[in-house]
A and B are shown apart, each in its own frame.
Chain A
Amino acid sequence: MSNSSDTMWRDAMHRLMQNKPAVISGAVLLLIVTLALLAPFIAPHSYSYQNLDLGAVSPNSTFWLGTDTLGRDLFSRILYGARVSLMVGFIATLVALIIGVSWGIIAGYFGGKIDSIMMRFVDILYGLPFIIFIILLMVIFGRNIWLLFLAIGAVEWLTMARIVRGQVLSLRNQEFVLSAIALGVDNISIFFRHILPNILGTIAVYATLTIPQVMLLEAFLSFLGLGVQPPMSSWGTLIRYGVESMEEYPWMLIFPGLIFTITLFSLNFFGDGLRDAIDPRSE
């Protein structure tokens, strides 16, 4: 059993390595994550130190990407912004993952009435304008970063629930699970021994594809001024400031926008590559 699953992962790894766009995207992501983690050691200047006499200067040898209107070094701000944006991306995805996977597993494993009620609920939620509710929540409960994680996670779990439920449903009726049930193995053990190992790949793929969506949502809220609040700043916040002063200081918009787009682009390509590698039939 463990042997065959090792081979499966090795095959997937092999297929992934042959997919050039995915490999390049993966490398880019690794670089961005490393830079974000090492921000305090790499950042050439303080991200919050204001130098009002200096003001906004265009990119030069001291300030590689220029400074903003308050004289803060843009490169350092982008590095620290990466920490916030990526953190929101990962944590909110984790929230979505926990809700979506549990929901999908329960619906798929027990099937029948439970399944149809639970999935009907997901269908209904799919049809609702969630962006409005997130704005509503942020307005009512204040602009708190933990609420932000929860609100975004609570919106993005739906697709995950559908996919996991489909997988579990088909696994549930396969011989090895049926025989385990016939042998009297309890639900928990069946789940951890037989179901979970077989859906891990799918979960990994859709988690990777959920991160860019979550980051997009966070940036959207921060752009509106409802997301991450000062002194913290995410890439969405930086883009917001960039838009405000793009006529005079276009670099304030272009650099944060560029890094944000590159990150989303890489996450999508890497996720697609991962999907093709783990489940070759999906294409």
Chain B
Amino acid sequence: MLKILLNRILIAIPVLLVVASITFFLIRLAPGGPFDSEKAVSPQVLKNLNEAYNLNAPLYEQYISYMSNAISGDFGPSFRYPGRSVSELILTGLPVTLELAFYSIIFAVIIGIVTGVIASIRKNTFLDYFPMSIAMIGICMPTFLLGPLLVLIFGINFELLPVSGWGTLPGDKFLPVITLGAAYAAYIARLSRGGMLETLNQDYIRTAKSKGLSEFQVVIRHALRGGLLPVIAFLGPATAGLIGGSFVVETIFQIPGLGRFYVEAAFNRDYTMILGTTIFFSTLIIIFNLLSDLALLLVNPQARSQT
């Protein structure tokens, strides 16, 4: 098992390197220099700026110095926020984004598993159909629509919850977390329902039932472990998706997280910021995928013996 994990890590490193290199060169392909939009800069100032940001050196030298700095966590200075480094900006935004993602995934897991498991036990009844139809709507309704609608209903019409911000007003975390978590709650509900239905048909469940265990005990002690495997496998890709979703949610609710910084950087053509965050996000997501693989190996003995 350690071997599998080591293998994955060994693959992850070159992948990251390739991603970082491609991004680096893609950004150099971008039309116009980073200082183009600043009005009427004299050639001398431009030259000094280019020198200050090390843009005059040959491309391969810039590449090597950027990469060696990046490995030690230094992504260079931001083009748009003079005097602040990209790493500094990332570290300001990261805790906010992680907190948002963490609450959302907790929300999604709890709501999703509870409804999915109940739906599977009460298959083809109202408790199955009703939540599963809602789940289908949850999957189809995009974040950028759900968020504003929730704001419109709970924030503006009923004035129950704050419409923007993060940690400044009481209750301002509810709407962003629900918005970001809803689609995943829906997905997890479907996955756990499917997984549970399959597990509940297995022989060992029948054995457990015939031993006289109550339905509750059968589900908690025996069925959950197998039934929730698809959910665990989904959590890795889900975190990747959550980060994409956080772009929208942070924009809608004006949350000062990494996603909003990225979108802003994209609009401002803040190239060092884009480059830094891309590498950072990729690292983060590759790590989450590794963790979810590890979790899967831990709970599923079959996967352990297979590879």
Q: A127-B289, A223-B248 are in contact. Are A239 and B145 (CB under 8 A)?
A: yes
Interfacial residues of chain A within 82-139, with CB under 8 A of chain B in the complex = 124, 126-129, 131-133, 135-139
- Chain B residue at smallest Cβ distance from A120: B11
Interfacial residues of chain A within 212-253, with CB under 8 A of chain B in the complex = 212, 216, 219-220, 223-226, 236, 239-240, 242-243, 246-247, 250, 253
**A129 x B144 contact (CB < 8 A):** no
**B266 x A139 contact (CB < 8 A):** yes
**Taking chain A's interface residues, is the majority helix, strand, or loop, or is none over half, making it mixed?**
helix
B136 within 8 A of A: yes
A9 within 8 A of B: no
B141-162 to A contact mask, C-beta < 8 Å, 1/0: 1111100110110001000000
Neighbouring B residues of A140 by C-beta, 8 Å: 26-27, 29-31
B111-142 to A contact mask, C-beta < 8 Å, 1/0: 00000000000000000000000001101111
Interface residues of chain A, those whose CB is within 8 Å of chain B, are 124, 126-129, 131-133, 135-142, 212, 216, 219-220, 223-226, 236, 239-240, 242-243, 246-247, 250, 253, 257, 260-261, 264-265, 268-269
**B144 x A139 contact (CB < 8 A):** no
**A253 x B140 contact (CB < 8 A):** no
Please report the C-alpha to C-alpha distance between residue A253 and residue B142 in the assembled complex, in whole angstroms.
13
**A139 x B152 contact (CB < 8 A):** no
Sorted from nearest, which 8 A-B pairs have the closest CB atoms? A131-B244, A264-B140, A140-B30, A223-B144, A243-B148, A265-B140, A127-B289, A257-B145
**A129 x B266 contact (CB < 8 A):** no
Neighbouring B residues of A124 by C-beta, 8 Å: 11, 15
B263 within 8 A of A: yes
Please report the C-alpha to C-alpha distance between residue A246 and residue B155 in the assembled complex, in whole angstroms.
12
The contact of A126 among B19, B26, B237, by CB within 8 Å, is: B237
The contact of A268 among B29, B136, B236, B262, by CB within 8 Å, is: B136
The contact of B282 among A129, A224, A239, A243, by CB within 8 Å, is: A129
Neighbouring A residues of B148 by C-beta, 8 Å: 242-243, 246, 253
Scoring A124, A127, A236 by chain B CB atoms within 10 A of each residue's CB, the highest score goes to: A127
**Taking chain B's interface residues, is the majority helix, strand, or loop, or is none over half, making it mixed?**
helix
- Chain B residue at smallest Cβ distance from A262: B140
- Chain A residue at smallest Cβ distance from B14: A124
Question: Distance in Å from the Cβ of B142 to the closest Cβ of chain A?
Answer: 6
**A132 x B281 contact (CB < 8 A):** yes
Neighbouring A residues of B175 by C-beta, 8 Å: none
Question: Distance in Å from the Cβ of A255 to the closest Cβ of chain B?
Answer: 12
- Chain B residue at smallest Cβ distance from A236: B144
Q: A136-B23, A140-B30 are in contact. Are A253 and B152 (CB under 8 A)?
A: yes
Neighbouring B residues of A129 by C-beta, 8 Å: 240, 243-244, 281-282, 285
Neighbouring B residues of A257 by C-beta, 8 Å: 145, 149
Q: List 30 A-B contacts (CB under 8 A).
A: A124-B11, A124-B15, A127-B289, A128-B285, A129-B244, A132-B244, A132-B277, A135-B247, A135-B262, A135-B263, A136-B274, A137-B26, A139-B30, A139-B274, A140-B26, A140-B29, A142-B31, A212-B140, A219-B142, A220-B144, A220-B244, A225-B267, A239-B144, A246-B148, A246-B152, A250-B152, A253-B145, A253-B148, A253-B149, A253-B152
17 further A-B contacts with Cβ under 8 Å, apart from A140-B26, A140-B30, A243-B144, are: A124-B15, A127-B236, A129-B244, A131-B244, A132-B277, A132-B282, A136-B274, A137-B26, A139-B30, A219-B142, A220-B143, A220-B248, A223-B144, A236-B144, A257-B145, A261-B141, A261-B145
Neighbouring B residues of A220 by C-beta, 8 Å: 142-144, 244, 248
B50 within 8 A of A: no
**B282 x A128 contact (CB < 8 A):** yes
Neighbouring A residues of B266 by C-beta, 8 Å: 135-136, 138-139, 226
**B26 x A224 contact (CB < 8 A):** no
Neighbouring B residues of A224 by C-beta, 8 Å: 247-248, 251, 263
Neighbouring A residues of B243 by C-beta, 8 Å: 129, 131
B286 within 8 A of A: yes
Please report the C-alpha to C-alpha distance between residue A268 and residue B139 in the assembled complex, in whole angstroms.
10
Please report the C-alpha to C-alpha distance between residue A260 and residue B145 in the assembled complex, in whole angstroms.
10
- Chain A residue at smallest Cβ distance from B156: A247
B269 within 8 A of A: yes
